[in-house]
Structure 1
Amino acid sequence: MKQLKLTAFVFFLFFFTESLTLPTKPQDVDDFRTTQKFIEENIEYITIIAFAQHVQEATFEDMEILVKDMVEYKDRCMANKTLPECFKLPNNVLQEKICAMEGLPQKHNFSHCCSKVDFERRPCFFFNKKADVGFLPPFPTLDPEEKCQAFKNSRKSFLNHYIYEVARRNPFVFAPTLLSVAARFEEVAKTCCEEQHKVSCFQTRAAPVIQYLKAFSSYQKNVCGAYWKFGTKVLNFINIAVLSQKFPKIEFKELTSLIEDVSSKYDGCCEGDVIQCIRDTSKVMNHICSKQDSISSKIKECCEKKIPERGECIINSNKDDRPKDLREAKFTDSENICQERDIDPDNFFAEFTYEYSRNHPDLSIPELLRIANVYKDLLSNCCNTENPPGCYRHAKDKFNETTEKSHKIVQRECAHFQHLGKNGLKYYYLIRLTKTAPQLSTEELISLGEKMVMALTTCCTLSEEFACVDNWVDLVLGELCGINENRTINPAVDHCCKTNFAFRRHCFEGLKADKTYMPPPTTKDLFTFNADLCQAQNEELQRKKDRFLVNLVKLKHELTDEELQSLFKSFTQAMEKCCNAEDPETCFNEEGPKIGS
């Protein structure tokens, strides 16, 4: 695989003539040719991603059949672009071929999607994806020597397997991100397979790749969840806040033009249309680089890079310097605000968000959206009074109150981190999350707990503590709420997830244990331990402890946090005692019932 980075493409499959806007400018033509070559070299990887994300249960052998079929299809269309089948949209072609695979739709329960066509079939495939991948076997791990031997024997087969396994476990991650992950992992394998200490090399070098995947996965799921549940308007405001902070010198008119390209890409990316996602993402990068003088002074070197590298470079570039002509005051001091709002409300509040965001680089994206909500509500009230300017002149006080409330939430969370330590913090959140959303699977709750801990341990020691924590925890809540607009957990959680995107963090802060939850019947299995516990090491042992705690909370939902902590402490003490005993099995048979009672 060629070295790939995020958002690294312009167009996909030039032979699909109806789905393309042909390039006209010299730079567009050059980009177009470069991408054509890239696609020809990587068509197999892209097909693997699309198939593995659509049909997560499908075997690697199933996938190989589809890849062969798609490559043959590509070759036919390259040889003769006038064939009727070559005028179809690529995503439709792919889904048609998946549906045509003998027995596959029936075996994996997506026949209902195959009975639909084109634009009706797309969302069906999307809503068929499963975020909780507990039904899949554990990610296959090889001894580093075996891994390197497989890599040396066939780099192509090795990467095919890797992309397949990663894509099916990350069904909502955008294709460019997965391609970048695969390219990064290929570099890790190349380096580590030449090292003497392969184990430590893979552990050290693979960690940032995994973190990269997790970070982009969280962000993409969060934004797509907002898009599906709240529509384009909320998506636009998220992007206005993000881009205004990153590119504070951009003019508002230029920003609105860029927002059109940025927001339109989520249609294909969130729906899982790999081709459309790649094409639209690339369009955004072309837009930014074509207007870089008026957008940012920090991306010149990025835009000089080749197409496969410049996208990630732009995303990772530093925020530009703030200009001196910030005009935030006009939204609180002007006498004619109500009249300006009434001319075009959407544009008016978009401009307010733009000005406030670029003037407050210290605030999180969710906080900027909260301020925009507060301002909108304030004007709704003020513009109906006898003296609107006298009313909205105090807007800054309202903004400060909102931010102060958000700051206090973060301060409390960081205080938990300081007092409890890493493990204590995880147990605190496992109890809290399980009480709030006990309907979620044990593995999903553990994953959410780990991400909360990662957010606080990473952010609570930074100078930009507030923005870091608030941004990151909001992503965790986005994962809890899920992408699917039809996802239901329980009435209280559903209310927080679906009522107001900007204030869901504040909403979750007030949630208590779910009163609608009916615990499973008491089972002795939870308190039946055996000597196998003593064989578990490090991560495996920690995972067993985490599972016990989550299942304990689900079973004893009515107990206080302190009582649950005490029970969990009894479990860990019993485990330590029995694993040091001469006969661990007998010890566990005696201690288990004591905990259960």
Structure 2
Amino acid sequence: MKQLKLTGFVIFLFFVPESLTLPTQPQDLGKKFTCDHGVLCVDCCSTIIVFAQYVQEASFEEVEMLVKAMTEYRDKCLVDMTLPVCSKLANDVLLENICALEGLPQKHNFSHCCSKVDLERKLCFFHNKKADAGFLPPLPTLDPEEKCQTYKSNRESFLNNYIYEVSRRNPFVFAPTLLTVAARFEEMTKTCCEEQDKANCFRTKAELVIQYLKASSSFQKNVCGALMKFGLQVLESINVAILSQKFPKIEFKELTSLLEDVSSKYNGCCEGDAVQCIRDRSKVMNHICSKQDSISSKIRECCEKKMPERGECIISSNKDDRPKDLGLREAKFTESENVCEERDANQTIFMAEFLYEHARRHPELSTPELLRIAGVYEELLKECCHTENPPDCYRRAEYKFNETTEKSLKIVQRECEHFQNLGKDDLKYYYIVKLTKIAPQLSTEELTFLGKEMVAALTTCCTLSEEFACVDNLVDLVLGELCGINENRNINPDVDHCCKTNFAFRRPCFEGLEADKTYVPPSTSQDLFTFHTDLCQAHNEELQRKKDRFLVNLVKRKPEFTEEELRSLLADFSNVVVTCCKAEGPEACFNEEGPKVVAKSQAA
């Protein structure tokens, strides 16, 4: 995948299908709004998404009960829109109906949220979400022929069930993204059901849908985590950096106008208000295309496309060309005699303009690096504006910026050296061990996922000319996954410090972390070495996942083990599997060989 596509995902958040537009008043849900190719009914789908994300344990039958209740509500309001209940916002009505489902609040342990009202209730449901969906059963799989028959016989139920399963496993993904994923899934199903080799078609096309969902989910969780932990100002700084790089010819006044639309939508999207999220994101797209002449020369053809194709077109478009008269630096921030006075007049606007000017001049820098430079500049002015001669002081700003970037560049170079010197398996081994030692409190599934994501980021970026920005952006997203969205997520003191102290500088902070000294491993490791014949049925990919989980659990139980000891025991695990799966009686072999591995680990 080209860097263009990856960085496109990093700004995909701002560009969505306008055909998903919904007003916020619930009575208007009776109107038929559709997404891609007119295939999905948004009022029904929004209901499914909200319920499945807020109450992940709920069954599909229970979700259908809520859809029925919302349909009855809609029909009632269509008959008489003057009823008091019909003036409420859609998300409030959805939550009220969820709480009104008999016995469900007690069954799924959300009755404490139902005792609250308005914003407190919404936030309670939000904090109830579980990012790690390991408690859910495996995603149901159907034989391709069976899948096609099910789709043809009951398309609506088939698609609704898909939206439900994906939504509850991705509780923080924005509703428009899930609707796009569902639409792509139906398009894939239509295509593959006409193919001779259906299985291969589904396998190939599903990978692209999964990539889109993963990239979208990662970025959305990252920016929502920034909003929840650090507030609106940090979120707006992220938006300034991204939009200024994408649209370098946009005037600052126009940028601030666009930011009002972009930033205002985040509360709804991040808290799971599907209807508000869809509506506000559509507003952003309309704004961009209505002002395209003053925003970008690269999106004219995109804005002429039908909805929702133009959103995808803008995501994939190149960054606009930097204006020819735009120098590498804006002198007013380092050479002017009046910097301190301008800063004091309106510090928020002043810093936003600095970030805008620096970002549009430096497309080669990552979003986190631009935020670090802005942070360094802000601290420098705090120091300089209290000296006798401020201009002499802040004229060294460029030196400070270069120094900051050089430090970040060295981190990326070290990471890409790991990629160059280690094979893919050893690279994953390195990051799984490193991450488990610094954050052993995370689940085994989370740690294996994070290790794989680190490898994917370096594999994608370390061969590109845009290596620095690519690595820094994607690894920062991995750290965003680690830190999580909720402000009350606690892992251990050192990790919490890196996650919660300074959004821009968490990469350098994590770089300095060592094994968690507060961690107390479980008292026994006996269960770690329980081998079963299911290892013999596992295909290569599944067997590798089991090896990764074994490694994580080994480090969790024996964090003091050296790399040589870990590698030796991991090799023992692989050898036992190979030997016993070839034996006439695999179970008996496992029962004999397993204890030997246990004894070796305990002796170490």
Please state which band the TM-score falls in when normalised by the shorter chain.
over 0.9
1:18 offset after TM fit, Å? 10
Q: Distance in 2 between matches of 1:322 and 1:227?
A: 30
CA contact (8 A) 1:248 1:323 kept: yes
Q: Distance in 1 between matches of 2:407 and 2:154?
A: 56
Residue aligning to 1:511: 513
CA contact (8 A) 1:66 1:97 kept: yes
Q: Distance in 2 between matches of 1:112 and 1:33?
A: 34
Q: Distance in 2 between matches of 1:470 and 1:32?
A: 43
What root-mean-square deviation, in Å, do the aligned CA atoms of Structure 1 and Structure 2 show?
Answer: 2.1
1:301 offset after TM fit, Å? 1.9
Residue aligning to 2:16: 6
Q: Distance in 2 between matches of 1:189 and 1:32?
A: 23
Which stretch of structure 1 is more off in the superposition, 210-219 or 576-585?
A: 576-585
Structure 1 residues 10 and 325: CA distance shift in structure 2, 3 A: farther
CA contact (8 A) 1:9 1:278 kept: no
Residue aligning to 1:205: 205
Matching residue's letter, 1:314 = I
Q: Distance in 1 between matches of 2:417 and 2:596?
A: 34
Normalising to structure 2: TM-score of the pair? 0.92
Matching residue's letter, 2:370 = L
Equivalent runs, 1:133-532 vs 2, <5 Å: 133-326=133-326, 328-532=330-534
1:583 offset after TM fit, Å? 4.5
Matching residue's letter, 1:177 = T
CA contact (8 A) 1:244 1:357 kept: yes
CA contact (8 A) 1:8 1:309 kept: no
1:164 offset after TM fit, Å? 0.3
1:128 aligns with 2:138: no
Structure 1 residues 55 and 34: CA distance shift in structure 2, 3 A: closer
Which stretch of structure 1 is more off in the superposition, 6-15 or 104-113?
A: 6-15
Q: Distance in 1 between matches of 2:442 and 2:456?
A: 20
Which stretch of structure 1 is more off in the superposition, 37-46 or 323-332?
A: 37-46
Residue aligning to 1:86: 86
Matching residue's letter, 1:12 = L
1:113 offset after TM fit, Å? 0.7
Structure 1 residues 7 and 235: CA distance shift in structure 2, 3 A: farther
1:555 offset after TM fit, Å? 0.5
Q: Distance in 2 between matches of 1:535 and 1:296?
A: 54
Residue aligning to 1:73: 73
Residue aligning to 1:23: none
Q: Distance in 2 between matches of 1:585 and 1:80?
A: 68
Residue aligning to 1:62: 62
Secondary structure at the counterpart of residue 363 of structure 1: coil
Alignment gaps of 5+ in structure 2: 1-14
Residue aligning to 1:24: none
1:338 offset after TM fit, Å? 1.4
CA contact (8 A) 1:526 1:552 kept: yes
CA contact (8 A) 2:34 2:42 kept: no
Which stretch of structure 1 is more off in the superposition, 579-588 or 504-513?
A: 579-588
1:594 offset after TM fit, Å? 3.0
Matching residue within 550, 565, 590 for 1:563 = 565
Which stretch of structure 1 is more off in the superposition, 560-569 or 292-301?
A: 560-569
Q: Distance in 2 between matches of 1:580 and 1:14?
A: 62
Matching residue's letter, 2:241 = A
CA contact (8 A) 1:363 1:467 kept: yes
Structure 1 residues 567 and 156: CA distance shift in structure 2, 3 A: same
What CA deviation, in whole Å up to 9, does each residue of 1:44-72 have, x standing for no partner? 11211111111111010011111112122
Q: Distance in 2 between matches of 1:436 and 1:492?
A: 8
Secondary structure at the counterpart of residue 416 of structure 2: helix
Which stretch of structure 1 is more off in the superposition, 82-91 or 57-66?
A: 82-91
Structure 1 residues 169 and 73: CA distance shift in structure 2, 3 A: same
Structure 1 residues 173 and 328: CA distance shift in structure 2, 3 A: same
Provide the identity percentage.
72
Secondary structure at the counterpart of residue 75 of structure 1: helix
Matching residue's letter, 2:390 = P
1:588 offset after TM fit, Å? 3.2
Matching residue's letter, 1:263 = S
Which stretch of structure 1 is more off in the superposition, 210-219 or 320-329?
A: 320-329
1:277 offset after TM fit, Å? 0.6
Normalising to structure 1: TM-score of the pair? 0.93
1:15 offset after TM fit, Å? 5.6
What CA deviation, in whole Å up to 9, does each residue of 1:340-379 have, x standing for no partner? 1111111111101001101000111001000100111111
Matching residue's letter, 2:149 = Q
Which stretch of structure 1 is more off in the superposition, 497-506 or 417-426?
A: 417-426
CA contact (8 A) 2:56 2:169 kept: yes
CA contact (8 A) 2:27 2:86 kept: yes
1:406 offset after TM fit, Å? 0.9
What CA deviation, in whole Å up to 9, does each residue of 1:192-246 have, x standing for no partner? 0110111111111110100000000000000000000000000000000000000
1:531 offset after TM fit, Å? 3.5
Structure 1 residues 34 and 251: CA distance shift in structure 2, 3 A: farther
Structure 1 residues 427 and 34: CA distance shift in structure 2, 3 A: closer
Structure 1 residues 240 and 15: CA distance shift in structure 2, 3 A: closer
Secondary structure at the counterpart of residue 333 of structure 1: coil
Secondary structure at the counterpart of residue 474 of structure 2: helix
Residue aligning to 1:113: 113
CA contact (8 A) 1:452 1:476 kept: yes
Residue aligning to 1:537: 539
1:536 offset after TM fit, Å? 1.5
Structure 1 residues 235 and 9: CA distance shift in structure 2, 3 A: farther
CA contact (8 A) 1:18 1:87 kept: no
CA contact (8 A) 2:438 2:515 kept: yes
Structure 1 residues 562 and 375: CA distance shift in structure 2, 3 A: farther
1:6 offset after TM fit, Å? 3.1
CA contact (8 A) 2:419 2:458 kept: yes
What CA deviation, in whole Å up to 9, does each residue of 1:368-405 have, x standing for no partner? 00010011111111222222222221211111111111
CA contact (8 A) 2:377 2:397 kept: yes
1:595 offset after TM fit, Å? 2.5
Matching residue's letter, 1:283 = K
CA contact (8 A) 2:32 2:42 kept: no
Structure 1 residues 82 and 397: CA distance shift in structure 2, 3 A: same
Matching residue's letter, 1:176 = P
1:94 offset after TM fit, Å? 0.4
1:477 offset after TM fit, Å? 0.5
Q: Distance in 1 between matches of 2:45 and 2:23?
A: 13
CA contact (8 A) 2:40 2:183 kept: no
Matching residue's letter, 2:318 = N
CA contact (8 A) 1:18 1:88 kept: no
Paired residue total: 581
Residue aligning to 1:553: 555
Residue aligning to 1:50: 50
CA contact (8 A) 2:438 2:513 kept: yes
Q: Distance in 1 between matches of 2:23 and 2:293?
A: 31
CA contact (8 A) 2:26 2:74 kept: no
Q: Distance in 1 between matches of 2:441 and 2:539?
A: 29
Residue aligning to 2:12: none
